[in-house]
Amino acid sequence: MSRIRTTVVGLAATTAFFAIGSQAFADGEVNIYSYRQPELIQPVLDAFTKETGIATNVLFLDKGLVERISAEGVNSPADVILTVDIGRLVEARDGGVTQPVSNEIINKDIPAHYRDPAGEWFGLTTRGRVVYASKERVSDTAITYEELADPKWKGRICIRDGQHSYNIGLFASMIAHHGVDYTETWLRGFKDNLARKPDGNDRSQAKAIMAGECDIALGNTYYVGLMMTNEKDPEEKEWAAAIKVLFPNSADRGTHVNISGMALAKNAPNKDNAVKFMEFLASGEAQEIYAEQVFEYPVMPGAKTSDIVTSFGTIKPDTLSLADIAANRKAASELVDKVGFNDGPTQ
């Protein structure tokens, strides 16, 4: 019988998560605060406990993770932080709730451009910020992010809120590659090519393409896998079937990717077990389990992707340091407001 115990607690919960008693601080356990849904990480937790005998306790939060750990202070039971998006990893670091890890095993398995130079966070899997394109109306087989400002796409692009962290990450990468002035001009051209005001989420962009509202859109790769396998809402399979995935800039610098990642909590009470867990997550075995579950790409070179992810096509990830990209997020957010991106196209 598995020793893993997964606990899901909403942000509004007022009772202490580890009210189960002193067991949370006992030997042989590790406490995980996660922005990622427990069911998505359960297979890798099962594998970790099977290999090490160390049980896991999981607190899932959909927001406010940094604030919670800060409020708990030195008595926080958090050992490891799991999250998605470079922005949230940087938020945890800048919020003072992480501590550096210098570990040869982790550094060997995770390429340098997917980890914080000071060891405050580490990437585990990546997702590409790609172009969803209509199979019926788009004959192009290649595209660049720069081309999204080309007038040939006028009135043909859909996108979610420009201030969403997924888009800010991409815009920040454009600043890192081209500078602020170029990116401002590019964003204005991009905005004028929109079919409507930014709206919805990544999945709804695929739905809009199927409905003929636009021909291309920006979206994360893993949403395609989620739509393709959605038995609960099978209409999403039709949205996925209506699009093809184009990997921007495959012929030059590569496609912008974001990460899911991990960090060691500042006051980890089970630090040794936490580092063991982080070493396991960095391993090829764990990356492949994790990546298959969430339809993402392992960061370890040579690690296998799932059949569904492989079906999207070949990705050539941009190797620009995510730390460099993160440093431009504030400037990217300011540009979104400056050009009025969320107002939609100029009539």
What confidence tens digit (pLDDT) does each residue in 148-162 have?
999 999 999 999 999
Domains belonging to the chain, first-starting first, are 5-125+260-303 (3.40.190.10), 126-255+313-343 (3.40.190.10)
Residue 16, pLDDT score: 40
Q: Which of 22-36, 183-197, 219-233, 322-336 has the lowest mean pLDDT?
A: 22-36
What confidence tens digit (pLDDT) does each residue in 213-251 have?
999 999 999 999 999 999 999 999 999 999 999 999 999
- Burial grade of 346 (CB within 10 A; 0-12, 13-18, 19 or more): exposed
Output the average pLDDT for the chain: 91
Residue 73 confidence (pLDDT) above 60: yes
Percentage, residues of the chain above pLDDT 70: 92
**Tokens 């809402």 appear where?**
233
* Dist. CA 93–CA 100, nearest whole Å: 9
Of the candidates 192, 219, 149, the residue with the CA atom closest to the CA atom of residue 343: 192
Using only C-alpha atoms, the chain has a radius of gyration, in whole angstroms, of 21
Residue 347, pLDDT score: 67
As a residue count, the chain comes to 347
- At 174, list the tokens: 């454009």
- At 53, list the tokens: 């005998």
- Burial grade of 202 (CB within 10 A; 0-12, 13-18, 19 or more): buried
More confident residue, 84 or 58: 58
Read off the pLDDT of each residue in 47-66 and give the average, rounded to a whole number.
94
pTM of the model: 0.85
More confident residue, 292 or 190: 190
Of the candidates 287, 253, 273, the residue with the CA atom closest to the CA atom of residue 43: 287
Which helix or strand (DSSP H or E) is residue 137 part of?
none
